[in-house]
Amino acid sequence: MKKHRKLIVIVSILVLLVALFLPLPFFIESPGSAQPTADSITVNQHHDQRAGKFLFTTVELSSATPLSLIWAACTPFHDIEPRQEVMAGDNTKEYLQMQNYFMENASNSAIEAAFKKAHRSYTKEYLGIYVMSFLKNSHFKGHLQVGDTVSEIDGHRFSSSQAFIKYVKAQKVNQLVTVKYQRHGKTHQTKQKLMAMTHPRRPGLGISLVDHVRIRTTPKVAINAGDIGGPSAGLMFSLQIYSQLTKQNLTRGRKIAGTGTINSQGKVGPIGGIDKKVYAANREHAQIFFAPNDRVTKKILKVDPHYENNYTIAKKAAARLNTKMKIVPVKSLDDAYNYLKTHQ
């Protein structure tokens, strides 16, 4: 009898351990945080100390276990997503590198948009080519990594990715080229063959790339979001920078949350998980939430007849929460600014 009880205890412990720790090929998306942008941004080496806050919102992404999967399936504002769909074929390290790049790019665009709106000058320093991904047959795969910055090829430096591509196109397939690149602040180089690209057929490194730039401003703007990645804080960062740059008190003591990508022209773009971001903002007692209001075209509806834009989803989330927080649709930095100036 004692042996039987002991066996039951052992089996129960094993089942519990499996339920708690067995990794499954899924991620759970849940409400993250609503953090003050002033904690992450300095203008002229100063954090904004004024009353009121701009809040940038996040989605938490966690690996699923059997127990957490059951919990997520039964909990509002929690979604279960296949790991492969979220990672898009990248490994964890590459995925995190990509998210870091998106945050860096969002920060640059936020600075540009704010300075343009304030009619203040800035300069862009071209650092090189940022490696985003590799084609399967690229000879540079295994030598370069996602997140590396390519600064030279065959001793030539370029001022844009277009100039870089133009040089490579003028070479020959299987030609050896020497690439100099930066990784974690250190300079390396590798010599590999160019591959035959298709559509159109031409020589290439077999990598997808974007310009890697640094924005230089006076006064100096610094953004440090810690471990948070992705592009969706752009709008809220830009509002914070503009508010400090022009010394305008846009918050008026309020908690103003929101989300949305931003480009250098101040255009706001859609993001993922906005319902969870509304939840996070409401939890922090925000009074206003800016939601991207991207246009729903016939072309989009043809691909996805059930498509809803960020603003629509955010409104529904607010209704589910029965919150008094105002959901405000925006398509640009100007939209957000004008709302704050006319609703004080």
Q: Which of 197, 214, 231 is the last residue of a domain?
A: 214
Strands 122-134 and 149-153: antiparallel
**Among this protein's residues, is 232 annotated catalytic?**
yes
92 belongs to a structural domain:
no
SS3 157: coil
337 lies in the same domain as 238: yes
Q: What residue ranges in the chain does DSSP mark as E strands?
A: 26-36, 41-43, 53-63, 79-82, 122-134, 149-153, 176-183, 186-193, 195-197, 202-204, 207-217, 221-223, 255-258, 261-262, 268-269, 288-292, 326-330
Catalytic residue (choose from 30, 232, 238, 332): 232
Which residues, listed in sequence order, are joined to residue 178 by a DSSP beta bridge?
191
5 belongs to a structural domain:
no
Catalytic residue (choose from 53, 117, 267, 277): 277
pTM above 0.85, yes or no: yes
178 lies in the same domain as 226: no
Could you give the number of structural domains in the chain?
A: 2
Average pLDDT of the segment spanning 128-152: 93
Q: What residue ranges in 73-115 does DSSP mark as E strands?
A: 79-82
**In which band, very low, low, confident or very high, does the pLDDT at 291 lie, cut at 50, 70 and 90?**
very high
| CATH number of the domain where residue 262 is located | 3.30.230
Q: What region does 174 belong to: left with phi over 0, alpha with psi -120 to 50, or beta?
A: left
Residue 329's alpha-carbon distances to 55, 258, 289, 336, in angstroms, are 16, 10, 9, 8
Domain of 274, in residue numbers: 30-59+106-121+218-342
Q: Which of 214, 249, 281 is the last residue of a domain?
A: 214
116 lies in the same domain as 156: no
159 belongs to a structural domain:
yes
Write down the pLDDT at residue 89: 66
Tell whether the model's pLDDT for residue 19 goes beyond 60.
no
Q: What is the pLDDT of residues 183-201, one digit of tens each?
A: 999 999 999 999 999 877 8
Q: Which of 194, 214, 234 is the last residue of a domain?
A: 214
Q: What whole-number distance in Å separates Cα of residue 55 and Cα of residue 237?
A: 9
**Among this protein's residues, is 93 annotated catalytic?**
no
1 belongs to a structural domain:
no
Of 30-44, 79-93, 213-227, 268-282, which range is least confident? 79-93
Write down the pLDDT at residue 22: 72
Residue 198's alpha-carbon distances to 173, 193, 195, 205, in angstroms, are 12, 16, 10, 12
